[in-house]
Amino acid sequence: MLSLVNKNRSQDARQTLGKGRLILRRIRLPLSAVLAVLIGAAAFAAEIGWQEAVARLAYERTKAETCVKELKKYGDKAAISRGEDGYNDAKAEYNAIVQGLTVALARKGEPMSLPDLEGRLQRGFAAREAFCKSVQPLVPSSAGQRNVITDIVGGAVGPVVEALKAIYLRGKDDDALMRKTIGTQLEATSWPAFASITPSP
């Protein structure tokens, strides 16, 4: 009788163990799939194409131009004068970045170091944010809607830094035609003069 009880217990234990292994297998598959997706996403985030990189720099210029347009529409002379100084501070940094990256791509001189360019970007981004924040209170909000400047301020500098690095590293590309193409599109992201930007309609 005791032998039969021990035998049943042994069978129950093996069944329980078997079920446990089956559950682990079922869990392991989804976890491995999730990990694969996360690893792939991280690799994708770390490597962006040069088109996306140029587009991010162009978007910084668009943000600044939008703030100037709204400033000229709603600001008084004193506010516009102060805003012009703020815009020009950011413009100087961003256009220096464009020039530095263009030199790196053309290989026609000693380019600025990547840390120097990143430093300029940090300063330029902060100046652009400060400028747009100074414009934000001047722009009225429509009923039930935020004003256009609200969607511009408060962004993160990280994606723009990634763009800077992606373009800078292209300077080491052996494809001269590709470097020239990137340089041409990059030059188009240069910020315009404050006076040339017309107010919002």
| 154 phi-psi bin (left φ>0, alpha ψ -120 to 50, beta other) | left
Give the Cα separation of 200 and 96 in Å (integer): 27
Determine the pLDDT at residue 67. Answer: 97
Determine the pLDDT at residue 30. Answer: 44
The DSSP output letter for 154 is: T
Domain ranges of the chain: 1-46, 49-196
47 Cβ neighbours under 8 A, 6+ residues apart: 166
What tokens were used for 61?
């210029």
| Helix, strand, coil tally for the chain in percent (to 5) | 80, 0, 20
Identify the segments of the chain with pLDDT beneath 50.
Answer: 1-8, 13, 17, 20, 22-45
Q: Looking at the chain, how many residues does it have? A: 201
CA dihedral 69, 158, 127, 105 (to 10 degrees): -90
* Residues 147-171 pLDDT 10s: 788 889 988 899 999 999 999 988 8
Q: Which of 151, 164, 46, 166 is nearest to 94 (CA)?
A: 164
Q: Kind and range of the H or E element at 67?
A: helix 50-74
The DSSP output letter for 196 is: G
